[in-house]
Structure formats: structure tokens, C-alpha cells
Amino acid sequence: MSGPAVPTRSAHTEHRPLPLEEAAPTGGLWHRWQEVNRTVSLPLARQWLERAGNLDNLRLAAGEAEGRYRGPVYMDSDVYKVLESAAWELRHVDGADDRQGPDGLRDFLDRTTALLDRAQQDDGYLDSHYQVAQPGGRYTRLVDSHELYCAGHLVQAAVAAHRTTGDTGLLTVARRAADHLADVFLDDEGPGLDGHPEAETALVELYRVTGEGRYLALASALVERRGRGLVGRHKHGARHRQDHLPVREAPAVTGHAVRGLYLEAGVVDVAVETDDAALLAASAHRWQDMVATRTSLTGGLGSRQVGEVFGERYELPPDLSYNETCASAASIQWSWRLLLATGESRYAELIERTLYNAFAAARSADGRTYYKGNPLQRRPDHAEAVGDPRCRDEWFFSACCPPAVTRLVGSLEHYAVTTSEQAGAPTLHLHQYAPLTLSGPFAGGRVGLRIETEYPWRGRVEVTVTEAPAGPWALALRVPPWSTRTRWDTPDEKGVEVTADEQGRAVLHRAWRPGDTVVLHLDLTPRLTLPHPRIDALRGCAAVERGPLVYCFEQTDQEDGAAVDDLALPPDAVFEEVAHDDLDGIGPTVTLRTWAAVVTGAHEAGLPYRTLGSAAAADTDRPVTATAVPYFQWDNRGDGAMRVWTPLLGG
Amino acid sequence: MSGPAVPTRSAHTEHRPLPLEEAAPTGGLWHRWQEVNRTVSLPLARQWLERAGNLDNLRLAAGEAEGRYRGPVYMDSDVYKVLESAAWELRHVDGADDRQGPDGLRDFLDRTTALLDRAQQDDGYLDSHYQVAQPGGRYTRLVDSHELYCAGHLVQAAVAAHRTTGDTGLLTVARRAADHLADVFLDDEGPGLDGHPEAETALVELYRVTGEGRYLALASALVERRGRGLVGRHKHGARHRQDHLPVREAPAVTGHAVRGLYLEAGVVDVAVETDDAALLAASAHRWQDMVATRTSLTGGLGSRQVGEVFGERYELPPDLSYNETCASAASIQWSWRLLLATGESRYAELIERTLYNAFAAARSADGRTYYKGNPLQRRPDHAEAVGDPRCRDEWFFSACCPPAVTRLVGSLEHYAVTTSEQAGAPTLHLHQYAPLTLSGPFAGGRVGLRIETEYPWRGRVEVTVTEAPAGPWALALRVPPWSTRTRWDTPDEKGVEVTADEQGRAVLHRAWRPGDTVVLHLDLTPRLTLPHPRIDALRGCAAVERGPLVYCFEQTDQEDGAAVDDLALPPDAVFEEVAHDDLDGIGPTVTLRTWAAVVTGAHEAGLPYRTLGSAAAADTDRPVTATAVPYFQWDNRGDGAMRVWTPLLGG
């Protein structure tokens, strides 16, 4: 069983995914998230696919219903993303359990596959909007039509279903669609380029599954044609659609964040499958620039609400950043591909930061509701303002985000481990830490690991080798840069200070036997984090972090009515860590308590500006215990103010 | 000759406009702005009314042309606003000069009036969009149709033309339109409320000119019906259209800023004409809250780009605030009405701040191009980002802002002076300082003033009484709060420290004779201004101000290639004032030079965040002379970075 993005044998990558024969989260957050995925989110998503009309649109296309097309042009993509989610989650349920009736994931997958098969046109075209609402309009408005985008998600769903079940039903539909795309778009004189990338990475994945070179050729063509004005005119300009510069030349990510990130995943996929080092380097360069200048502390991307775009360099307003949920998922997909291509730990770092913060915050703890935008601050009067809603919702007119969450959560375990073979030393790399068992072919044999940990709540990670190939191999454990004093116990010595290599990894090369155990002790001491001085919107503030988790202050946790917006943190804050088995129903957590100051100024009636040197309104200042919770758990207990970045006392 | 907003004799106001028999700026900025208005902006606006289709739309409505309606539904309003501008500017040209041909303002006014007369329907309805593009659709979609909004601007143009020329041609068209509105909307069962206020204040003005009580009654009804869900559904909700709470109850401005501000002007107009103290107090309360929590240092309003709305309390991002040009003009109109109603200086303060900063910055020095949004910061890479353009343009698809500038500039002198009669002491109040001559009936006689000054470049304001009524009266000169050491020379003593009254006014009550002179010496010492601690986006920064002018650092003025974004100001900055007769073609100015630090950090490749206590990237820090220019003159000399709020060294 493989996960998302599995390069072919001939691909040029430093790392490869471990083809998992078995893998399952056995507890902790990942397990919780997947359980909620299956029991709450997916049933709800399937209800919404009926309620919002997505499935009816396909029934109309199949000639099996009457009525009008409903929703935006890309309604089919939501169906595909839910299908993909179901495909991944099928691995986590007992087959028998899931066959208990029409609510089963298997049944949903089979019935929807059959519907798609009936809806698909003879030439392979499948897009309910154009078939139902605009017959004859196909490929006439690619800048906004999302036709290749939808086809891409169909392909990704089919690839997932094939990888998890071996079934070929959905794959057959997807191949017909892809063959049709190749017929139409491989021609240089074809109709142009989709305004929303996604087909690029999907077609490479389909090539990986089927070996059909035309899919790779088409993906490559779509990538190379970008930046030449072929997308068509858009009110926000070519830059918004990443059509202003060829991908080999563009120095930085720009435009609509989700579009840009999906495109980059495809760029890396094409680069590794075609051994194109220059193409890979261009994408990696943009990733580095994006991380250094356009990424929220939570990993959120797309800092400007207007146009849902990447902002200017260092434009990272905590209150106004859009940080779309789909962008968080897409960022993880891009970083995963770069991690495979280069083997560099920094990509695993960003995956972890994004996963536990911007991404995980999108869904409510109960799995029912979602944020599309994920700001780092909510003001006390947010409910009285006009603009983006500052609360989660079950579904949306443009419902891209909920199934972006469910499909990533469903495949989480695949992002934990990779293998490399450099210099004749087979190495198993553990990038993410979660309670997990896994096994797969490795180093000419078969490897099995059992990971036991309460991470990210505690820093202890116990890795037990349950199966081992013959001969020596290396186990590499990623040591995050925030872990300043890291120790480990190996089969050979205990309590040793870890010396990480230049990739930030603790590596132990030896012959392993089943039962051998390594215990990594990561240092989760809470820390204050400062922003780069160029980030104007964060000047004078600090954020609280603990391990991979960004923390925030929510109004509900503050004592004595201290307003979150009045809090100021001492630079020498010492945090008391308080573990909860279940905090008000949101599950296990660790809250952080510290002394802080509540600074309240007399609010003047005039302008909120004063001359330096003039008398300031009298500030009163009282000590208080302030309590922070993990950002990803925010807004599960009331709609009050929240802030990640908090003024530093005297800052 | 009267200006905008002239309460009736029976209105309850503390102040009244001085009915000007003569008034003209004689030099300085106001004169320059009006000259540019007449010679560049209005000719260009008239070209655009042809090019964009506004006049053709009316010709279509009159049955005199063939083709299709062009532009958004409110195209007529641009015609009316240009007409109003022409009407005000007619006062500034020699009649003979202006009759020289078809380019004359008079000719434009007459010919357009005739066109409107022909386009108007028999029942008084006049709206080219609905007449041409949607016959039969009138009043069916008031939430977005702008029908009353357009009619309001027709009325305001007619009132202006009548006040400046005495002509009744346009007034006749406007009255027919208003009579029609009264027939349709005075009925409580009428079609609803316009989504864009404007008719309210216009109808009160028409009542003032004509004495027709139905216009006041309709204005009052429109004001009172607001907040009861009569506007209709809108994607941003009732709050966006100020339809969520009755105007007597709403505690704060909210929603679309321009809409909200136009509504408030109408609320005050109705309140003073109907002697409704509670209604007035509700509006004044919202003004005070808006100033204290939602106003940029420049006076700009509407801090959120999405929806062009007032933001949350203290949401005042310098880079992202929209600060629409129309909102600046509308704010001045509201404050002017509150100044008349209450006589309080704070309204004149905000008028001055807005006029010289947010409003004046909207138009380029040459009068050709305009900003719609007026942020306080532009980043060096703005041209590479997607979103709101960060440069001025001649005209816009939604072209509300250019004629909002021309109509206010055309009537500037009317905002300078008011009269009051409290306690039997007739007082002439000078609120704004510009080279100006004016005369009008006052205190049973006639008063004339000649104001000579180089304000805002210099603090010396010489006021000469050129005509004086018999008997004693008071001259009240506003002393802005930033003038910390203010002296004056009166006919009775020289160089006296001014003791301002509780309204911040220097008042001299005496018998005046022609030739009597008062010289006010305002203190323009440059100062550093700090933001309220609740404004997260400005923490750790200061702004430079001098007199009424907010300053900014533009890239083009910095020496040694110092990047604006690297500047940091010392808290004890001392500014050298450098006067220029004409700085690179933008006219007279005073620039400010100070020692500052250029702080450049090594830009790391990783995330732009670091743990407190960890080694920061090495900052280098070198002294440099930084040069600031008045914000209103920015972006006339290149498209580089600009910032008003600049980090304080050690801040």
C-alpha cells in the first residue's frame, strides 16, 4: 500500500517513500484525527455532497435526474476529494465492519464510481458543469473553468483508490479522462491552460500508477507552457494565475496561494520523473524564499485576503492573513515532494509546523466544522465587523477546504517515513513522530517499526524495531531545531546527548534485531519566539511555542476577566505546563501558564495617536496569570478574542 | 453665494456658514488645487465621461444615440459629480473667460443640463441604466441599484449650480426627480431603501434651497427607516449596508465606509432641520468612536479592503487600510455638518487632518491621476504582488473617486469660516488657514477678511479685517492642539502667548475697524507621533508630523541607497526643515531631514522567526540622513517604497 506521491523506480530522488505493507496510527492525535475523519467528517461530507447538489449534478450529467446544475463550476472536485478521502480511510477500517451497509466507505466508493462511469461522455470528457449547464462550452474559458483541475482531482482519487484497494474501477474512469486530456492538450495548438493547476501533479501520479508515458508528457507540457500567457485574461492579471513567467524563471511564489502551491507540487513531480535538476532547483528556490518571507508562524500561506494571494515580502498580518486551509494542505504536498527529491530535513520541518498548526486548526475538535481562512488573531469585536467570518462552518458554497482536510488526514501515516540508499548505506528516516506501527520492504528485506509516544504532548519517542532486514542499516531520527537539549537511549548506550548531522538528524548505523529500541528525548521546554524585524505587523510581539506547537491566548482561559488584547508578556516568562486528559471536550492537551501583565490604558476620545513626549493616558498595569492553549485547538470553546502574537512587556 | 450644507434659518445649529458674497483662495495650496482642478482635472473628467460612456448612456436614455449601456449601474452619478464640480469652479473663473467656447464650464453645465432634461422621463424618473439597460426594472433591486444614490448626486449638482449661479435649469430637473422620489418613497409601503445612502443629505439640501417640506420629510423617512431590514439581502449582510440597527441605536459606524459616512451626513442634516437632539447625539457619538478607534493618522477611513468597510476597533494596518478617497471626502462632509450643529473645534480638526493628508494624497500633483485607496505604506516589492494597484490612475471602471476630489476641491473656501451668535456676542470663526479673501453679511452688517499665510508651510497667519460691521464682535481663530507654543499679535498687543478657550480657540472680542490685523503664530515644530498601544499594526513605530501635515519617507529621497524599510528613527530625532519652491515639479514643500539608523539584518533562509535568547542574525546599523516629505505629495516622483509609520530605534 502506497501513499500520495510515489516516484517511479527511474525517478531521480534522494529519498523514497517506504512502501507500507502495514501502517496505522495506534493512538494520539493522528489516530484521533483519523477516527473523527471516518466517524464524523466523512459522513457529513457525504451528506453535503447530496445537499449542495454535487452528486445530483453528476446524476444530471448521467441523464438520471432532472433539474438544474447547482453550485460553482468546480463542484465535481469536491466529490473527487471526498472519494480520495474515503479511499485512504478504507485502510483504517476492518473490511467487514465497513460492509455493514450503505453508509460504508466501500459502498460509497463503488456507487460513486459507477455514477461517474455513467456520467462520463464517450470521448472521456467528464465535467458535470459543462455537460449540464454549458453544453458546447468545454475548454472555452479555461482561465476560470477548472476543467483540468476537476479532472486532476478525479485522477488523484483514482490513484488513491488503486493504491489502497488495488481496484481499477475508478482508475478506468480516470484513465479515460486523462486519455481525453492527452488527446486534446498534448497538441501545442491545444485550447490553452487551466487557470487552476492540479492536473500536473495528478497526471504524474497516474503515470506512476499506469506507466503510461503520455500522462507524464502532458504534465510536463502543462508545467512548461505556464508563464506564457496561455491561461487567458483575468481581472487580477497573469500573476494571479502564475502565468506571468515560466516556472523555470519565476523567482518567487506569487498570485493565488493554493493555485501556486498545487502548481509547485506538479513541478517537482515532473522534475524528478524527468531528471530535470534545473526545474527542481527553481521550485526549491521559490520554496526557500516563500518560507523566509511569506510564511506565518503556523505555516499558513497566502497572507492577503484580496485575491487569496501570497502577500508582499514580510506582509504577514496576524489578523488579516488568509492562510487558506487548502494552502496548508497543498504546502504539505509540495514539501513532501521536495523532501523525497532532496532528502533535506527542512521540508519535514515545515510539514510538521504546518500540520500541527495552520492545518490542524482548520477543523473543529469534533470534526464537524471548518475554517477556510486561518488567521493568528481574532479581536473581541469580530462579530460586529463585516468581512470574512471568524468562525467555522460545516460546508461552504466554495467547499474546497473540508475535503482538503479529510483527504490529507486520511493519508497522514505516509508522511512519517522515507528511505535512502546513499553511499551503500540503506537508511530508514523517521520524519514525524506519532504512535504508529509500520512495516515494508527495505534493504533487501523487510523492516517493521513500532513507535510509541505521547508526542507532541511529551518529548519521549520510543522506536522499537519489530522486523529487520539482514545486514547493517541506519535509522535516522529527525531532531527539530527547537529541541535544544536532545538525548537518546540506543541499544548501545543510554541518556546520550544527541549529535545531529548537518541535516538535523540523529543517525545510528548498526545491525538491528527485532526488539531493539531507541528512545529519543526531545526538549519541549516552552519558548518565546520573536518575529523578523521586517515583519511590520508583528513588531514588539512574541509568540509562545512548545515543541512543534504554536500556542495562543484565548479569552475563555484568562482569569479575572483579563482581556486577551490587554495582555503583555514578560521577556523572561517561565511557563508552567499543565496536562489535561480532556480540556472541556476537546481532548488531551497541555496548557501553558505564565505571569503576565494586564495593561489597560484610559481610552481617550480623540484620535488614537499622541505626540511623543506628551502625557500618555494613564496606563494601569496589574499582574495576572495568563493561560495559553495550542493554536490548533482554538475556537472550540467560545467565540472570544484570540491571539498568537502578544506584546512583549517593554518591547 | 453659499457652499455645501447651508442650514435653514429655522435649523438648530450652533454655527452657520458665512453666506459668502465674495471668497477666493488667493494663493497657496488651495489656490493651486483649484487651478489644477479647472485646468487639468475637470477637462480630463469630461473626456472620460465621453470615453467611458457616461454621457452616451444619457443620450441613449434621451433616444438620441444608438448602442448599449456601458459601465456599472451608477454611471450617471459621475456625470452629476462632475457637474457639481463645474458649478463650484464656475465661481473661480471670470465669466467672460469661461464663455470662450465649448470647453467652458458654463457651456458644459448648460449642455449637460439640457441633455438631462431630455433624458428625464415624464414622471421625473431619471436613471440611464434602468431606462436603457433594464426598462421595467426600476426600484426592483434597491440594495445594489444606486437609483436614489444617483438621484441624490443630481440634486447636489443642482443645488451647487443654483447656489453659485442662481440658475434654475438643473434645479428644475432635480426637483422633478425629487418630486418623483417623494411620490414613490414617502409612502411607508414604498419599494424600500437604497443600498447606498446619499439621497438623504441631498434631499435636505434641496429642501433648504426650495423650502419644499416634502423633501425634508422624505430625507427624514429614509434616515428613520434605515436599520429595519428594508435594504434587502446582500452577501456582506445588513451591517454592510448600515441596515442592521436604526440610526438612533447604532453605537458605532460599520459596514461600507463611504455608505456609512454619506448616511451620517444625512442624519445630521435631518437632525438640525428637525431639531432632533437625540438623533444628532447618536451621530456625534459614532463620530467620536470612529475617530478614537478606526481612523488612520491621515484621517483615512475604511481600514479593511474586503468589502471596503470600517475595520474592527484598532484595526488600522498601514499597508492594507483601504482609506478610500470618497470616504475622505465624505468624512469632511459629515464633520462639516457636525461643526455647524455643535460648533465644536474637534470637527474642524478632523477636517483639516483629512484634507491635508488622506484627501490631498489621492490626486497627483499634476491633477491627472487618482488613488482610490490611500494606504500609509507601500513596500518595495509592491509591483510584484497581486491585489489593489499601488499607483494612481486617470479614471476607473468604478470612477467614484476622481469627481469626489474635484467637487470638494471646487468648494474648499466654504469650509474655512462659520459664524455664531451665542450670548449676544456675534463671533466669526476661522477654522482653516489659507490665503483667502472673503466677505459676507455678519452681525447686522458686512464683514470682510483677508487672510495672508504660507500655511501649512509656515505657521504665520495674518488676518486683516477689510470690512467690519458696526459694534463689537469676536474673531475666533482655531488653535490646533499640536501647536504647543502659540503666540499672536492683535491690534492691542504683540507677541502674546495665546490662551485658547476650551474649544481650542483664540478669541478676541472688540470693535473692529477695516485695517485691523491679527497675526497668529502657530508652532509647526516637527514632532514624532506614537500610536495607541491597541493598534497592533503600528506597535513600536512613530510617525513624523509637522503642523497639520503627516510626513512619510519615500525611497526616492533617501541617500546612500538606504532602503526605506531599513530605516529606524531615534526617539530624540531633531528635524531640519528644508523649504523648496518646487521639489521636482510637485510644487512648494518643506522636507524634513533627520539622523536615522539603517538597520539591515542578515536575511536567513529559514522561517523569519527565532527563539528569544537565541543568536539573532547579525544586524548592521549605520547612521544616515533620512528625508521625509508630506504624505499628500507622495508618489509623484517614482514608484518606490513609502512609509508613514517607521520603527523607533529601541522601540
pLDDT score of A516: 98
**Helix count and strand count (H, E) for chain A:** 17, 23
B339 touches chain A (CB under 8 A): no
pLDDT-derived band at A386, boundaries 50, 70, 90: confident
Distances, alpha carbon A642 to alpha carbons A456, A558, B58, in Å:
22, 11, 52
Q: B609: which chain A residues are within 8 Å (Cβ-Cβ)?
A: 297, 529-532, 543
Task: State which residue of chain A sits closest to B564, comparing Cα positions.
Answer: A534
Other Cβ atoms closer than 10 A to B121: 15
Between chains, do A537 and B532 touch, taking CB under 8 Å as contact? no
pLDDT score of A95: 61
Percent of chain A at pLDDT exceeding 90: 88
Position A256 pLDDT exceeds 70:
yes
Q: B318: which chain A residues are within 8 Å (Cβ-Cβ)?
A: 536
- Residue scoring higher pLDDT (B113 or A621): B113
- Residue scoring higher pLDDT (B532 or A21): B532
Choose among A346, A542, A606: nearest Cβ to B291: A606
Between chains, do B601 and A377 touch, taking CB under 8 Å as contact? no
B622 touches chain A (CB under 8 A): no
Other Cβ atoms closer than 10 A to B458: 15
Interface of A with B in 167-206 (CB under 8 A): none
Choose among B387, B528, B608: nearest Cβ to A306: B387
Between chains, do A292 and B255 touch, taking CB under 8 Å as contact? no
SS3 A38: helix
Mutation target vs A (from B234, B607, B643; most A CBs, 10 A cutoff):
B607
Q: B346: which chain A residues are within 8 Å (Cβ-Cβ)?
A: 606
Nearest Cα of chain A lies from the Cα of B572 at a distance, in angstroms, of 9
A523 touches chain B (CB under 8 A): no
Nearest Cα of chain A lies from the Cα of B236 at a distance, in angstroms, of 7
pLDDT score of A396: 95
3-state helix, strand, coil in chain A (%, to 5): 40, 20, 40
Q: How many angstroms separate the CA atoms of B284 and B617, rounded?
A: 50
pLDDT-derived band at A650, boundaries 50, 70, 90: confident
Mean pLDDT of A7-15: 96
CB burial of residue A183 (10 Å; 0-12, 13-18, 19+): middle
Q: B381: which chain A residues are within 8 Å (Cβ-Cβ)?
A: 312-313
Distances, alpha carbon B42 to alpha carbons B81, B104, B398, B565, in Å:
11, 10, 17, 37
C-alpha torsion sign, points A112, A118, A119, A121: positive
Which residues of chain B have a pLDDT value below 50? none
Choose among B239, B379, B611: nearest Cβ to A527: B611
Q: B532: which chain A residues are within 8 Å (Cβ-Cβ)?
A: 601, 604, 608-610
DSSP B7-47: --TTS--SEEE---SEEEE-SHHHHHHHHHIIIIIHHHHHH
Amino acid at A645: W
- Smallest CA-to-CA distance from A89 within A157, A149, A35 is with A35
Between chains, do A611 and B310 touch, taking CB under 8 Å as contact? no
Q: How many angstroms separate the CA atoms of B377 and B369, rounded?
A: 19
Q: A537: which chain B residues are within 8 Å (Cβ-Cβ)?
A: 317, 536-537
pLDDT score of A343: 97
Between chains, do A291 and B606 touch, taking CB under 8 Å as contact? yes
Position A618 pLDDT exceeds 70:
no
Between chains, do B312 and A611 touch, taking CB under 8 Å as contact? no
SS3 A477: strand
Q: B599: which chain A residues are within 8 Å (Cβ-Cβ)?
A: 533
B293 touches chain A (CB under 8 A): yes
Mean pLDDT of A589-596: 97
Task: State which residue of chain A sits closest to B609, comparing Cα positions.
Answer: A531
Q: Which residue matches cell numbers 446544475?
A: A69
Q: B380: which chain A residues are within 8 Å (Cβ-Cβ)?
A: 313
Between chains, do A254 and B309 touch, taking CB under 8 Å as contact? no
Position A431 pLDDT exceeds 90:
yes
Task: State which residue of chain A sits closest to B254, comparing Cα positions.
Answer: A385
B381 touches chain A (CB under 8 A): yes
Between chains, do A317 and B320 touch, taking CB under 8 Å as contact? yes
What's the grid cell of residue B83? Answer: 457637474
Between chains, do B601 and A239 touch, taking CB under 8 Å as contact? no
Q: Report helix angle A213-225 to A199-210, nearest 10.
A: 160
A312 touches chain B (CB under 8 A): yes
Q: How many angstroms separate the CA atoms of B443 and B438, rounded?
A: 15
pLDDT score of B605: 66
- A to B CB pairs, distance under 8 Å: 219
- Among A12-16, A19-23, A139-143, B536-540, which is the least confidently predicted range? A19-23
A309 touches chain B (CB under 8 A): yes
Q: How many angstroms separate the CA atoms of A137 and A12, rounded?
A: 40
Nearest Cα of chain B lies from the Cα of A538 at a distance, in angstroms, of 7
pLDDT-derived band at A99, boundaries 50, 70, 90: low
Q: How many angstroms separate the CA atoms of A315 and A326, rounded?
A: 20
Q: A382: which chain B residues are within 8 Å (Cβ-Cβ)?
A: 312
Task: State which residue of chain B sits closest to A541, comparing Cα positions.
Answer: B539
DSSP structure class, residue A357: I
CB burial of residue B570 (10 Å; 0-12, 13-18, 19+): middle
A547 touches chain B (CB under 8 A): no
A304 touches chain B (CB under 8 A): yes
Task: State which residue of chain B sits closest to A307, comparing Cα positions.
Answer: B387
Percent of chain A at pLDDT exceeding 70: 97
Nearest Cα of chain A lies from the Cα of B535 at a distance, in angstroms, of 8
pLDDT-derived band at A603, boundaries 50, 70, 90: low
Between chains, do A386 and B309 touch, taking CB under 8 Å as contact? yes
3-state helix, strand, coil in chain B (%, to 5): 40, 20, 40
Q: How many angstroms separate the CA atoms of A33 and A53, rounded?
A: 27
Mutation target vs B (from A301, A345, A607; most B CBs, 10 A cutoff):
A607
Between chains, do A317 and B537 touch, taking CB under 8 Å as contact? yes
Choose among A307, A311, A539: nearest Cβ to B540: A539
C-alpha torsion sign, points A548, A550, A554, A558: positive
Q: How many angstroms separate the CA atoms of B303 and B60, rounded?
A: 39
Q: A295: which chain B residues are within 8 Å (Cβ-Cβ)?
A: 607-608
* Cβ contact A506:A488 at 8 Å: yes
Percent of chain B at pLDDT exceeding 90: 88
**pLDDT tens digits, residue range A201-252?**
999 999 999 999 999 999 999 999 999 999 988 888 899 999 999 999 999 9
ipTM value, please give it.
Answer: 0.93
Between chains, do B291 and A541 touch, taking CB under 8 Å as contact? no
Interface of B with A in 222-261 (CB under 8 A): 236-237, 239-240, 252, 254-256
What's the grid cell of residue B421? Answer: 451668535
pLDDT score of B390: 75
Choose among A295, A304, A529: nearest Cβ to B610: A529
Phi-psi map region of A208: left, alpha, beta (phi>0 left; psi -120 to 50 alpha): alpha
B482 touches chain A (CB under 8 A): yes
Positions of A annotated as catalytic residues are 308, 400
Choose among B382, B387, B605: nearest Cβ to A288: B605
Q: How many angstroms separate the CA atoms of A220 and A197, rounded?
A: 12
Q: A613: which chain B residues are within 8 Å (Cβ-Cβ)?
A: 528
SS3 A359: helix
DSSP A66-89: -S---S-TTHHHHHHHHHHHHHHH
